[in-house]
Amino acid sequence: MNSHKIVLAIGGSSGSIYAYRLMSKLKDIPNLELGVVMSENAVINWEIEIGKFDKAIWPFKFYDKRDFNAPFASGSAKYLTMIVCPCSMGLLGRMAQGISDDLITRAADVILKERRRLIVVPRETPYNLIHLKNMTALTEAGAIICPATPSFYSSPNTVEEVVDTVVDRILDLAGMDIKTYRWGE
C-alpha cells in the first residue's frame, strides 16, 4: 500500500498541546510518512506549555526550518497534505502573502500551487481585520482554516478530550480514517 505523505508545521503560537495530541495520534496511523518542521518559537512555547521537547521520542523525520532541500519544498515530492498547527498570525500572514522565507512558508506555497490540501489551525483570539483578511486570502487560495476552537457536544471531561475535539477534526480534514465522536451516533 502506498504511504500517505503529510507535512506538519508547528508554528510559534500558544497551543502546543494541539501539536502534541496531533502527533500522538498520527504516530499510530499506518503507512504515514510525516515530515515535521517547527519554528523557533514553537519549541520555546512547547517547553513553556508542555515541558522539554525531545524529537527523539517521535517516529517522524524532523527538518530545520531553513532546510530548503527537504522533500516537501518541491511539488514533485507529492506531499498531498500540509497541516499548520498551531499557527500564529505572523505565520498565517506570511503564508497568505506568499512570502516563502523559510521551509514552513515554502511548503505552504508548494501545497497551494499544486492545489493540494493546506489545513491551517490558527490559535489566536480575538481576530483583528488583518487576521481575517489573511484567512480569507488563504481560503480563496484553497486552504482550509480550522481554528483551534473546541466543541463540547461530546461531553469532554479532560483538557486532552477538549483538545481532541479539534485534533480529530483536523485528522478528518486530512482524510485520515479515525475513530472519534460523531454527531448523531
The pTM of the full predicted model, rounded to 2 decimals, is 0.96
Q: What average pLDDT is seen over the chain?
A: 95
Q: Answer whether 32's CB lies under 8 Å from 60's CB.
A: no
Neighbouring-strand partners of residue 63? 37
Where in the chain are the domains?
4-173
CATH code of the domain made up of 4-173: 3.40.50.1950
pLDDT at 1: 45
pLDDT score, position 80 = 95
In this prediction, residue 173 carries a pLDDT of 96
> Exposure pattern of 59-69 as b/e (b: 16+ CB <10 Å)?
ebebbebeeee
Quick: pLDDT tens for 152-167: 999 999 999 999 999 9
